[in-house]
């Protein structure tokens, strides 16, 4: 042997940022661009119109940016100091809505990426494990049966999503689980919970409440404010942080459980923990914005086509593209039929459906995670 | 058959240097009624190539899963380096013992090199970056298998044979001293079968690495293995050097074929005549 390092050798990819590919940078930059445009629209249009430049000027207003009391009010709750109307509208109504959209987008996209890896199925979504129907049922129960507990609605949504997920896991468990059984169990739980949900629907007597619930199940950011930001932020940090920490485990899981096991991955434990992270992310966003469909399905799909299957890249890509899609969709939802507002979930559904139709036509054999 | 039982009993041999030992191992799947592997006792000699052969459904692959700890035994145990396999942590076990599943599949876009780096998973700590040892192990594995030129190709672009070689490289990069290969040549064209078996021969020359492989092709097994273990109905029916094990009587008894056995240049040669009357 000539040497340990022959001609075909390459230096170790040890540099910290070697995994950042050009495609990933393009996705990130494109997403930031979309976010900036959508944000400008969101901040300036509405019942109190502002010129785009004025909106940004208000946003960079040092009287707010540098005011500790204002930030305390935003991030910890409390009374917002006195400002002029434009400033108040931008800072307490329009900006938090954008922030909620960003956070919900991150959560849904990351949750989808995790679940697609775990089930090795590109068509899996945050709601395939029953999170959506569980959360939806919990919300309806709260509204119809336990109306006194309405202030705790988000909490119940997350709880319902979590319970449904545990139920799915219990049904799928047979001395271990596998992706197919998990998906099937998700279908079982979803259809039963969905039926109960529809049944409860007919019990609502107040038309206003019924309409609110419909909007919520369709996914809506109307009325989102700093309270939602405060609720989302810590959970988002935890969920996204854990997802990044588990990126290599996700990679190994996509090789199939036989191989993952042979490589020394504790398949069942890792799969359970990562599912829990995905449920946490999805349930938090359900609690804040209702059931926004297709984001968790489409975003990982689009990002994977561009950056490949490595989950470090994929998750970072999702953390940019998810918010971009949701903020843009919400801008559309708010402005399309102005002054009427459409739930954002309807817009994402209208965008997501055709995207899959296009894929189906263009690539006959997509769907499997191979 | 008393003869078979004697042979099975002889499978536990305290005199040989054991890499891996199964003792009274009984394996069963959760949804099956009868055990697939029934009270098998087997000593795998260190540094050698052991081939498991047997007809379909004889329990070869199941035994391999049991030996790798993938399937928990109903009774009996597997011992690796003097310790029971279930005392090992998952990663610790994976550094000692690697198994290549029958038909592994990965994401289409994964490149050969990325796949090989996954073989380093048990060696890398939480959030560890790629170290020089990892790079060296991956390069060595790709070199041994002879697919350095495929490094940057995605799995989807490769032929079935090339893909199998890529998986073999991943298992080699794992740097375990015991390799369990489940039908590594099945469904491959001749050229790639030989390429895979060439790797096995390289490993055979290396005294450190122990290989246990399931093979369908009896002649192939006889040519490349030091030891052959013949399974039938979940029990060991014979074991030993290829020359001793492969007899017309065994082929008729276990495989149900009438065949002649001659001594060829590369080990015993079989000529199949037809199904045996039983």
Cβ neighbour number for residue A301 with a 10 Å cutoff: 22
Using CB atoms, which residue from A13, A264, A310 is nearest to B121?
A264
Tens digit of pLDDT for each residue in B84-94?
999 999 999 99
Determine, yes or no, domain membership for A102: yes
Determine, yes or no, domain membership for A17: no
Tell me if residue A60 falls in helix, strand or coil.
coil
Using CB atoms, which residue from A16, A252, A266 is nearest to B118?
A252
Determine, yes or no, domain membership for A251: yes
Instruction: Indicate the DSSP class of residue A94.
Output: I
Q: In the predicted model, what is the mean pLDDT of residues A75-90?
A: 88
pLDDT of residue A27: 96
pLDDT of residue B223: 92
For chain B, the DSSP string reads -HHHHHHHHTT--TTS-EEEEEEEEEE--TT-SS-SEEEEEEEEETTSEEEEE-STTSSHHHHHHHHHTSS--SEEEEEETTEEGGGS-HHHHHHHEEEE-SS----TT-BHHHHHHHTTGGGS-TT----HHHHHHHHHHHHHHT-GGGTTSBGGGS-HHHHHHHHHHHHHHTT-SEEEEESTTTT--HHHHHHHHHHHHHHHHSSS-EEEEE-S-HHHHHHH-SEEEEEETTEEEEEE-HHHH--HHHIIIII-EEEEEEEETTEEEEEEEEEPP-
pLDDT of residue B14: 60
Burial of A200-217, coded b for 16+ CB within 10 Å and e otherwise, reads beeebeeeeebebbebbb
Sign for the pseudo-dihedral over CA of A269, A271, A274, A276: negative
What CA–CA distance (Å, rounded) separates B155 from A171?
A: 34
Q: CB–CB of A309 and B110 under 8 A?
A: yes
Tens digit of pLDDT for each residue in B213-245?
999 999 999 999 999 999 999 999 999 999 999
Percent of chain A with pLDDT over 70: 92
Nearest chain B Cα to A12, which residue? B135
Q: In the predicted model, what is the mean pLDDT of residues A178-204?
A: 84
Q: Shortest Cα distance from A244 to chain B (angstroms)?
A: 10
> How many domains is chain A partitioned into structurally?
1
Q: In the predicted model, what is the mean pLDDT of residues A2-27?
A: 63
List the one residue out of A312, A314, A316, A310 whose CA is nearest residue A254: A310
Q: pLDDT category, A104, cuts 50, 70, 90?
A: very high
Task: Tell me the whole-structure pTM to 2 decimals.
Answer: 0.87
Which residue segment(s) compose the domain that A125 sits in? 95-362
What CA–CA distance (Å, rounded) separates B121 from A255?
A: 12
| CATH number, position A336 | 1.10.3470.10
Token pair 């139920």 in the structure block, residue: A167
Q: Which residue ranges in chain B fall short of pLDDT 50?
A: 1-10
| B264–A contact, CB cutoff 8 A | no
Q: CB–CB of B101 and A254 under 8 A?
A: no
């Amino acid at each position: 042997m000539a040497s340990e390092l022959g001609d075909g050798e390459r230096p170790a990819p040890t540099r910290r940022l070697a995994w950042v590919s050009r495609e990933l940078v393009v996705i990130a930059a494109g997403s930031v661009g979309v976010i900036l445009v959508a944000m400008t629209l969101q901040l300036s249009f509405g019942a109190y119109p502002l010129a785009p430049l004025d909106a940004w000027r208000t946003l960079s207003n040092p009287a707010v940016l540098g005011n500790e009391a204002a930030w305390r009010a935003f991030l910890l709750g409390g009374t917002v100091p006195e400002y002029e109307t434009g400033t108040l509208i931008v800072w307490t109504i329009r900006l938090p809505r954008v922030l909620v959209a960003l956070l919900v987008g991150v959560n849904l996209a990351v949750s989808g990426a995790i679940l697609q890896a775990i089930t090795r199925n590109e068509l899996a979504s945050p709601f395939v494990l029953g999170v959506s129907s569980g959360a939806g049922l919990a919300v309806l129960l709260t509204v119809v049966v336990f109306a006194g507990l309405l202030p705790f609605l988000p909490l119940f949504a997350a709880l319902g999503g979590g319970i449904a997920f545990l139920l799915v896991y219990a049904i799928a468990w047979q001395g271990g689980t596998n992706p197919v059984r998990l998906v099937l169990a998700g279908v079982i739980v979803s259809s039963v919970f969905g039926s109960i949900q529809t049944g409860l629907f007919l019990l609502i007597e107040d038309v206003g409440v019924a309409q609110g619930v419909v909007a919520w199940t369709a996914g809506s950011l109307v009325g989102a404010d700093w309270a939602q930001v405060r609720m989302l932020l810590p959970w988002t940090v935890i969920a996204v942080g854990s997802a990044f920490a588990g990126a290599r485990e996700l990679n190994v899981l996509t090789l199939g459980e036989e191989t993952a096991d042979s490589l020394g991955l504790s398949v069942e434990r890792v799969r359970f923990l990562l599912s829990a992270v995905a449920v946490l992310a999805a349930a938090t966003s359900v609690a804040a914005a209702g059931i926004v469909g297709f984001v968790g399905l489409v975003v990982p799909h689009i990002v994977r086509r561009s950056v490949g299957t490595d989950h470090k890249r994929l998750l970072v890509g999702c953390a940019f593209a998810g918010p971009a899609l949701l903020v843009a969709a919400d801008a559309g939802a708010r402005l399309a039929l102005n002054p009427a507002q459409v739930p954002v979930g309807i817009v994402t559904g209208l965008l997501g459906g055709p995207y899959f139709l296009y894929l189906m036509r263009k690539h006959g054999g997509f769907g499997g995670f191979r | 058959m008393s003869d078979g039982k004697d042979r099975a009993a002889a499978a536990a041999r305290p005199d040989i240097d054991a890499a891996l030992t199964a003792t009274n191992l009984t394996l069963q799947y959760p949804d099956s009624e009868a055990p697939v592997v029934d009270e098998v006792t087997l000593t795998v000699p260190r540094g050698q190539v052991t081939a498991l052969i047997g007809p379909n459904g004889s329990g070869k692959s199941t035994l391999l899963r049991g030996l790798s700890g993938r399937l928990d035994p109903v009774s009996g145990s597997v011992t690796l380096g003097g310790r029971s396999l279930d005392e090992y942590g998952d990663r610790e076990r994976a550094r000692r013992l690697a198994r290549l599943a029958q038909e592994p599949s990965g994401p289409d876009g994964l490149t050969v090199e990325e796949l090989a780096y996954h073989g380093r998973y048990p060696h890398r700590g939480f959030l560890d970056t790629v170290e020089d040892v990892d790079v060296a192990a991956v390069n060595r594995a790709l070199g041994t298998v002879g697919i350095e030129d495929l490094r940057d190709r995605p799995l989807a672009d490769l032929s079935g044979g090339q893909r199998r070689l890529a998986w073999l490289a991943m298992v080699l990069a794992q740097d375990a001293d015991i390799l369990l290969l489940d039908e590594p040549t099945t469904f491959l064209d001749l050229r790639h079968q030989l390429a895979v078996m060439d790797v096995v021969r390289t490993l055979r020359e290396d005294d450190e690495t122990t290989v246990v492989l399931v093979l369908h092709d009896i002649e192939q097994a006889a040519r490349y293995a030091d030891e052959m273990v013949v399974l039938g109905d979940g029990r060991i029916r014979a074991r030993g050097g290829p020359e001793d094990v492969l007899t017309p009587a065994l082929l008729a008894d276990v495989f149900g074929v009438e065949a002649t056995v001659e001594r060829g240049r590369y080990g015993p040669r079989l000529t199949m005549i037809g199904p045996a009357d039983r």
